[in-house]
Structure 1
């Protein structure tokens, strides 16, 4: 039996509607050198009824809820491809995704890889604004798959792949969430494998969140970054500290406002104008307006999480699991 080149592994939790859109985009690929491994992570709203609707080799598994990382490991243990690919259920692939990926794989032969994400024209204005905040150079410093990469690239599990042999040597995702994807990337690099950014392998990532959920998400990202820097000494970068410096700077400017007749707020006004104009230039006027609060949420939420994690872990010396128990899944 000939094994497929790629195993597409997708964990899903109570998202059958999203899963249908994802499978639609896989069905519409210009080339299909893959199997689909769909891992239902203890959902109440199952996606099993979708399997027979597609002319694709789909292998469906249901397991208890142990988190997305462990679900991807579950899928890898059952996958048959030479490469394991991971997407989130809230992603949609352009029709030529595998065509472009396959070409890049043949050219550069990476051990592990990832690609950037973008907003689809059909996304809501809030989704587009959040996507801007998550990918803009002005808010993330270019560390999430942009062309101006400031750090060794750490693929994100919404668009990530690795060779089967890498999984067999390094192991899979850990029980931390979020943060399981950069954790795996660090272990892959430490084992001597090459991790590459495939700029052409773009996916559309819905980011099924509103501003309220977004601040909780980026807060967690800030917390996790300190944990990862503790686990992997030498991986800390100045760019990870910038949101915290932004947070402290905003607080200082607000405190100084009454003493400076409001002039201390001028830097914030300039930042607002910069973000709004840049987002407007690449999207629309309304997205430009919404990108301003999205960017402040991105920076302030991440900055607070990073600062809190620094205090708990490095100042007070607490263990990661004691300081932030909800960030670790119980696999028992």
Structure 2
């Protein structure tokens, strides 16, 4: 490809204590085939060599937070201190495919201004590499329902700055589901997310405690995810866009929150999530197999999750 555009892309990379991986992220941004770009790294109070490493690169703008404030604050600061028409978010331990920007800028210029394109990618973990399964909007599916069900991560879309600014960027103070929150608020604004089958990013899946995007939401507020869903529900009812299908999608998201709580041995918290999910919609059970759903109906979600954990270890 040799596509050129006058529209600049700002690549925004939040970083916190990622000295072992930040170089790969920066170099994947530098090596993009699309030349009209700027790279902004926002260091979120790192105590390792991250800032020193970032400073070793020419033409990379480094912003430094005085203290650790979280990925959302860092991304918002990157938006405020960049100038691109388009915004590409990249986490400090992930890498962009070489032609990601070139392909997505071209795709973005082929769609309506109120549409945001997103592509796919792969996840690398100790167990190997797997492809991310994403999809476009189905027939009869609303824009809101689509972004709830697909759950896009931050690096997959190529955002238009104007819409990020219109919704105030990322909601700060929420360490989990921040992508869903942003995309739901964009969909409520009328933005549609358009899927294009394109390899965009390689995401690293690991569980470092200090990782900027791995904050333990139970440590600060175990009911945070439930509060978010309630906020979305309230806004949708105020805008008179709530439907039975959206209620079902939100209920399934709550159910997944309960499953996460069980995996962290927080049974009491999990029960509250399950209860609220059932109140929101009768068809709320979200599992990875028919066996799980049968076990939930017959023995309850706690035993179903335990059986599922045994199955995953086999």
Q: Which residue of 2 aligns with 1:116?
A: 120
Q: Which residue of 1 aligns with 2:135?
A: 146
How is 1:249-260 mapped onto 2 (pairs within 5 angstroms)?
249-250=294-295
Q: Tell me if the contact between 1:178 and 1:220 (Cα under 8 Å) persists in the aligned partners.
A: no
Q: Relative to structure 2, which stretch is displaced further, 6-15 or 245-254?
A: 245-254
Distance 1:147 1:162, change over 3 A: closer
How is 1:32-71 mapped onto 2 (pairs within 5 angstroms)?
32-54=35-57, 57-63=59-65, 64-71=67-74
Q: Which residue of 2 aligns with 1:292?
A: 312
- Quick one: distance in 1 between partners of 2:44 and 2:69? 7
Deviation at 1:229, TM superposition (A): 4.1
Deviation at 1:208, TM superposition (A): 1.9
- Quick one: distance in 1 between partners of 2:297 and 2:196? 40
> Given the alignment, which residue of 163, 169, 172 partners 1:172?
169
Task: Give the number of aligned pairs.
Answer: 248
**TM-score under structure 2 length normalisation:** 0.64
CA offsets 1:31-68 (integer angstroms, 9 cap, x no match): 3321011001111124222335445x311011021111
Deviation at 1:27, TM superposition (A): 2.5
Q: Relative contact order, CA 8 A, sep 6+: which one is greater?
A: 1
Q: Which has the higher strand share?
A: 2
Is 1:79 equivalent to 2:78 in the alignment? no
Q: What is the Cα-based RMSD across aligned positions, in Å?
A: 4.0
CA offsets 1:220-252 (integer angstroms, 9 cap, x no match): 996576345434432433453675634674356
> Given the alignment, which residue of 180, 183, 200 partners 1:182?
180
Deviation at 1:79, TM superposition (A): 0.4
- Quick one: distance in 1 between partners of 2:196 and 2:113? 9
CA offsets 1:182-204 (integer angstroms, 9 cap, x no match): 22222222223333334315211
Q: Which residue of 2 aligns with 1:199?
A: 197
Q: Which has the higher helix share?
A: 1
How is 1:179-328 mapped onto 2 (pairs within 5 angstroms)?
179-209=177-207, 223=226, 226-227=229-230, 229-233=232-236, 234=242, 235-238=246-249, 239-240=252-253, 243=256, 245=285, 246=287, 249-250=294-295, 292-293=312-313
**TM-score under structure 1 length normalisation:** 0.61
> Given the alignment, which residue of 153, 159, 180 partners 1:156?
153
Q: Tell me if the contact between 2:14 and 2:42 (Cα under 8 Å) persists in the aligned partners.
A: yes
